[in-house]
Each structure stands twice: as structure tokens, then as C-alpha cells.
């Protein structure tokens, strides 16, 4: 699903050069549930932004779902992001003055889907996360956990093959956090690849594979076994 080879990302200002990622290589197979962890400043966020085509990189190659997306224009990247990737953020990032239905609707709009099909997808996504009854409510009327579940519904409504989650439980208490993680596992069971960025080792343990980033590069890490109904190929993590 996700194949990064030798990615480098440098932030340049007038005075200093920051190497956020250096010789970064990673392969995530289809259907895997991968956790990416590391200390702050290690480059986790940069990796996520690049994986999600939110940022460009300076060297290396990136193949997403079989397609080379290294040097694409903004229009193409936006379309791929829209069709292939679902985002979940730590601070939910719901649009405050749209109701729940409209919030889940947003990515589908950019795909120019017809109304009946959109409605079907939105309703089934909200069903999945258990919030179908709150369609007309505003985000401010929901608790933190509920908002995050709406964000998940938004992420899966378009049926993307890849979900990128950035500290999805960072702003939630332990009960809600567990609910969210259950949801992510359920989605993964249905065949979606999930890449989770977190610094919480508890969460990381629930994933199939754990990838550790330090100073912009990947450190290999023992994989923890998890209930895996679908046979998944062992992906090779390129050594440094």
C-alpha cells in the first residue's frame, strides 16, 4: 500500500536547516495496522504529512497503492488524497458551523458524487461509528469522544484504502480512547490499511507492527502479535 524509499525532507529558513526526515524508508502492506511512534521532534508529524500528501519531500520515492506519487501537481495530489486517504486528527478538526451530516459530507463533495450515493455513504458511516441519530447536531453539541467518532466516520465515508491517524486519542479520556481504538480495529478488519502515529506505548501495542522513528529515520522494532483474521505478508522494514 505504502512504499517510501529514501525520503528526505529539509526545512530551510534564512539561518538554519532542519533535516526532519533523512534516508527514511518504510513499507506498509495492504490491510496492515501499523503504529508509528517516537519522541517529539523525531519527525512523526512530517512523516504523516508526507504520507498524506500534505507536504512534498526533497528526495526519494513514494508509492501509494501502486502508484508513484513523488512528483505530482497539486490537483492530482488533492484528488489522490481525497480518494485514497482518510485523515483522523488529534484535535478532531471538524468544521464548527456545519452539522454532523455536512461534516461527513465534505470529502464526498470534492469527489463530485451524486446526492443519493452521498447520502447512502454518510448514513452507513455514521451507523458504523454509532452516531446516526445525531446527524443534525453541531460538533459543539457533542462530547470529545463523539466528535472523534464523527471524524472517523468522515474519514471512512469515501471508502479510502488507507487511514492516517495522528494521535487520535490524545484529547480523550481512557474510556473514549478505548472506543476509538476499537473502531479503528474494526475498520482494519474490513480491509483498510491503518497507520497510527502515537507516542502512547499502550496504543502502539494494539497495532500489528510498531515502527520507531528517531531523528528522522526508522528504527526496527519487534512486532507484537495481534488477532489477525487475514493473512498478511511480512513486510520488510529496510534496515538503516
Partner 1 sequence: MIGYYVRLALKSFRRTPGLTALMACAIACGIAACIVTLTVYHTLSGNPIWWKNGVLYAVTMDSWDPKSPYDPAQPGLAPDQLTYQDATYLFDSDIPRHKALLTLIGGALSGAPGQSIPAIAFTDATTAGFFHMFDVPFEYGGPWSAAADRGPDPVIVLSRNENDELFGGADSVGRSILWNDQRFRIVGVLDHWRPEPKFYSLSGGGTGDFGGTTDAFVPFRWDVTQRHWPAGTFGCWGSSPTNTYRELLGSECVWVTLWVELPTAGQRRRFLDFMNAYWAHQRANGRFQRPRNNHLWKVSQWLKMHHVVSDDSRLLLRLAFAFLAVCLINTVGILLAKFLRGAPVSGIRRALGASRRQLFEQHLVEVALLSLGGSSLGVALGALGLQGVHAMYAGSEAGYGAAAHFDVQGILWALALAALSTLVAGVYPAWRIGRVSPAAYLKSQ
> With binding defined as CB under 8 A, does residue 39 bind partner 1?
no
93 lines the binding site for partner 1 (CB under 8 A): yes
Sole residue written with cell 506505548: 201
Query: DSSP letters along 79-103, please?
Result: HHHHHHEEEE-TT----TTS-HHHH
What is the C-alpha separation between 24 and 135, in angstroms, rounded?
A: 41
Choice between 53 and 176, CB closer to partner 1: 53
- Give the chain's largest Cα–Cα span: 54
Closest distance between partner 1 and the C-beta of residue 91, in Å? Answer: 5
Angle (deg, nearest 10), helices 174-189 and 144-157: 10
Q: Which of 75, 65, 79 is nearest to 195 (CA)?
A: 65
Distance CA 94, CA 88 (A): 10
Q: Whose Cβ is closer to partner 1: residue 31's or residue 107's?
A: 107
To partner 1, the closest distance from the beta carbon of 76 in angstroms equals 9
For residues 119, 125, 129 and 135, what is the CA-based torsion angle, rounded to 10 degrees?
Answer: -10
Among 11, 18, 67, 110, binds partner 1 (CB under 8 A): 110
> Is residue 75 a contact residue for partner 1 (CB under 8 A)?
yes
Total interface residues for partner 1 by CB under 8 A? 30
- For partner 1, which is the closer residue by CB, 103 or 208? 103
Q: C-beta of 87: minimal distance to partner 1 in Å?
A: 5
Strand 2-12 to strand 59-64: parallel, antiparallel, or no bridges (unpaired)?
antiparallel
Contact between 106 and partner 1 per CB under 8 A: yes
Min dist CB 187 to partner 1, Å, is: 17
Tell me: does residue 143 bind partner 1 (CB under 8 A): no
Contact with partner 1 (CB under 8 A): which of 27, 55, 58, 189?
55
The rounded distance, in Å, linking the Cα atoms of 157 and 151 is 10
- Is residue 119 a contact point for partner 1 (CB under 8 A)? no
How far apart are alpha carbons 91 and 171 in whole angstroms? 7
Closest CB 156 distance from partner 1, rounded Å:
12
Binding site for partner 1 (CB under 8 A): 45, 49, 52, 54-55, 74-75, 78-79, 81-83, 85, 87, 89-91, 93, 95-98, 106-107, 109-112, 154, 166
Amino acid at each position: 500500500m505504502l512504499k517510501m524509499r529514501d525520503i528526505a525532507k529539509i526545512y530551510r529558513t534564512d539561518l538554519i536547516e532542519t533535516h526532519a526526515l533523512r534516508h527514511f524508508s518504510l513499507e506498509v502492506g495492504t490491510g496492515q495496522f501499523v503504529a508509528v511512534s517516537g519522541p517529539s521532534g523525531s519527525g512523526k508529524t512530517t512523516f504523516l504529512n508526507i504520507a498524506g500528501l500534505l507536504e512534498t519531500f526533497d528526495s526519494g520515492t513514494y508509492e501509494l497503492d501502486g502508484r508513484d506519487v513523488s512528483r505530482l501537481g497539486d490537483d492530482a495530489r488533492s484528488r489522490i488524497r481525497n480518494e485514497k486517504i482518510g485523515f483522523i486528527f488529534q484535535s478532531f478538526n471538524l468544521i464548527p458551523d456545519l452539522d454532523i451530516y455536512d461534516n461527513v459530507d465534505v470529502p464526498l463533495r470534492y469527489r463530485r458524487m451524486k446526492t443519493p450515493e452521498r447520502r447512502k455513504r454518510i448514513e452507513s458511516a455514521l451507523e458504523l461509528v454509532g452516531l446516526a441519530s445525531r446527524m443534525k447536531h453541531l460538533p459543539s453539541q457533542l462530547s470529545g469522544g463523539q466528535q472523534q467518532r464523527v471524524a472517523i466516520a468522515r474519514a471512512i465515508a469515501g471508502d479510502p484504502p488507507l487511514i492516517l491517524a495522528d494521535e487520535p486519542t490524545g484529547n480523550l479520556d481512557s474510556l473514549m480512547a478505548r472506543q476509538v481504538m476499537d473502531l479503528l480495529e474494526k475498520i482494519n478488519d474490513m480491509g483498510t490499511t491503518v497507520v497510527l502515529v502515537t507516542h502512547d506505548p499502550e496504543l502502539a501495542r494494539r497495532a500489528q507492527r510498531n515502527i520507531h522513528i528517531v531523528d528522522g529515520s526508522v528504527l526496527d522494532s519487534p512486532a507484537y502479535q495481534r488477532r489477525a483474521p487475514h493473512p498478511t505478508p511480512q513486510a520488510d522494514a529496510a534496515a538503516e
